[in-house]
Each structure stands twice: as C-alpha cells, then as structure tokens.
C-alpha cells in the first residue's frame, strides 16, 4: 500500500490564483481530513469527510473548498489564493472504527506571493 | 467542543534523561488519546495511543498515562536519545467519530 499520497510536494502561487491540492489513499478509509500547519505551529483542521459525498467544515474552512466523489480521493481547492494561505497542508485518513490510527500524507508546501 | 492544552511548548533534556509532556482536555466524553511525533520537514506519525478504559500503556521507552478524573494525559520518554528530538503533539477525540483535536505541540530537544 502507498498509504496517503499528496501532490504536488511544493507549489508557489501568485495572489489571486487558484489551485487544487490532491490527496489519495489506498487503504479504503472512510474518514479523510485536511489540515494546515503554519511554521512552528500546530495542526488546524480545514475540512473533513466521513465518506463519499459527505463533507464538513473544520476549524478554518474559509478560502477553501473540498469534494469527495470517491472513497480514495479528497481534493482541496484554494480559490483566490492569499498570503495568509502560505502553509504546509497535510491530508490524513483512517477507518471508521472507533479509535483507529489516523495516517498522514507527506504534505504539500504552499507559498503564496 | 473539545479543547486540548499541551505543556510545555519547548523542552530541552540531556541525553539519557527522561522527558514528560502533559496535556489536558475539556470534554469528558473524549475517550481516545493519541500522541504523534513530527520530525523536521516530515509528516506527523503516531507513536502511541491510549483509550479511556486503560490508565497506562507502555511501548519500550515510551509510556502514556491517563487520568480521566482530572482529564489529563501525559507522554513519558525514558533514556532519551538525540533521535527523540522532534515536535510531539497530543490529541483527543470521542470514539474517533469526531475529528481529532490536537494540542499546539511540544518541541523536544535532546542534547548529546
């Protein structure tokens, strides 16, 4: 299993541009999450999904959108990028069984200039 | 909703000494408490977790204790080594059906 994969690894965006961060997992996990981690800071939940077709907002959803059309994929869309969205973005997934391990992807480093 | 406080924010220890990181949570319904280690530039990785029906769990040099009454849990690392240097995050959730709520992290430095 590849686990949780994310693309791209690094991206530079200009203010006002848009992009989609890709996340795929091959573990048949129902639950998927998007976090952002600012330099030297903790993990903030952006959006999450408990299954295909179901998404919900986390702590910091403004400026982002998600979709979950398949179990495997959970893309994060940034519209009108702003410098405040400069961060490292981590995708994560786990099964729906209570207390199961949450696995993180390798992250996407985004710089908005 | 759940709130997780983590202390200290930074911790320096001499190689071979023990390190203790403490977390408190606010929601008494929370019953799953994982700890993640994040090395510089890497993803967070689970190192140990504990469920509310257990008071302590050990895995080699790492142990976690849980006090449900006081709503706090702690990570203990014994015989620290330079490779233990990283940022450690605690987290809490209710039955895992709610998203994990993370503490702000502790940067541990092990000085050789």
What residues of chain B lie within 8 A of the CB of A90, using their CB? Answer: 43-44
The answer to whether B31 contacts chain A (CB < 8 Å) is yes
Gap between the Cα atoms of B65 and B69, Å rounded = 12
B82 φ/ψ angles, rounded to the nearest 5 degrees = -55, -35
What residues of chain A lie within 8 A of the CB of B45, using their CB? Answer: 104
Q: With 80 as the cut, is the pLDDT of residue B96 above it?
A: no
Gap between the Cα atoms of B46 and B34, Å rounded = 7
The answer to whether B62 contacts chain A (CB < 8 Å) is no
What residues of chain A lie within 8 A of the CB of B102, using their CB? Answer: 42-43
Q: With 90 as the cut, is the pLDDT of residue B95 above it?
A: no
Verify whether the Cβ–Cβ distance A94 to B49 is below 8 Å: no
Of A77, A73, A78, the C-alpha closest to A53 is: A73
Output the pLDDT for position A40: 83
Two tokens at A47? 């959006």
* pLDDT tens track for A19-31: 999 999 999 999 9
Mean pLDDT of B66-73: 95
Two tokens at B79? 């015989």
User: From the list A42, A102, A105, which residue is nearest B103 (CB)?
Assistant: A42
What residues of chain A lie within 8 A of the CB of B42, using their CB? Answer: 106
Residue pairs spanning A and B at CB distance below 8 A: 46
The answer to whether B35 contacts chain A (CB < 8 Å) is no
Quick one: which H or E segment has residue B51?
A: strand B45-51
User: From the list A45, A58, A100, which residue is nearest B96 (CB)?
Assistant: A100
Cβ density class A17-42: b for 16+ within 10 Å, e for less: eebebbbbbeeebbbbbbbbbeeeeb
Output the pLDDT for position B1: 84
Output the pLDDT for position A14: 97
* pLDDT tens track for B36-67: 999 999 999 999 999 888 899 999 999 999 99
Q: With 70 as the cut, is the pLDDT of residue B73 above it?
A: yes
């Amino acid at each position: 299993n590849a686990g949780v994969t994310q693309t791209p690894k690094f991206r530079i965006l200009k203010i006002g541009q848009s992009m989609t961060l890709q996340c795929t997992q091959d573990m048949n996990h129902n639950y998927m999450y998007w976090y952002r981690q600012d330099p030297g800071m903790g993990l903030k939940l952006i959006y999450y999904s408990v299954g295909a077709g179901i998404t919900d907002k986390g702590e910091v959803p403004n400026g982002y959108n998600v979709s979950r059309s398949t179990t495997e994929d959970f893309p994060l869309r940034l519209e009108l990028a702003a410098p405040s969205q400069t961060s490292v973005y981590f995708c994560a997934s786990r099964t729906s069984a209570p207390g199961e391990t949450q696995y993180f992807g390798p992250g996407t480093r985004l710089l908005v200039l | 909703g759940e709130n997780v406080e983590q202390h200290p924010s930074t911790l320096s220890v001499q190689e071979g000494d023990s390190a203790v990181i403490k977390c408190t949570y606010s929601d008494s319904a929370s019953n799953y408490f994982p700890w993640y280690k994040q090395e510089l530039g890497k993803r967070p990785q689970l190192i140990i977790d504990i469920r509310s029906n257990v008071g302590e769990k050990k895995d080699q040099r790492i142990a976690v204790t849980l006090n449900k009454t006081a709503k706090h849990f702690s990570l203990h690392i014994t015989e620290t080594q330079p490779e233990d240097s990283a940022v450690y995050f605690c987290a809490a959730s209710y039955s895992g059906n709610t998203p994990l709520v993370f503490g702000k992290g502790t940067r541990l430095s092990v000085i050789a």
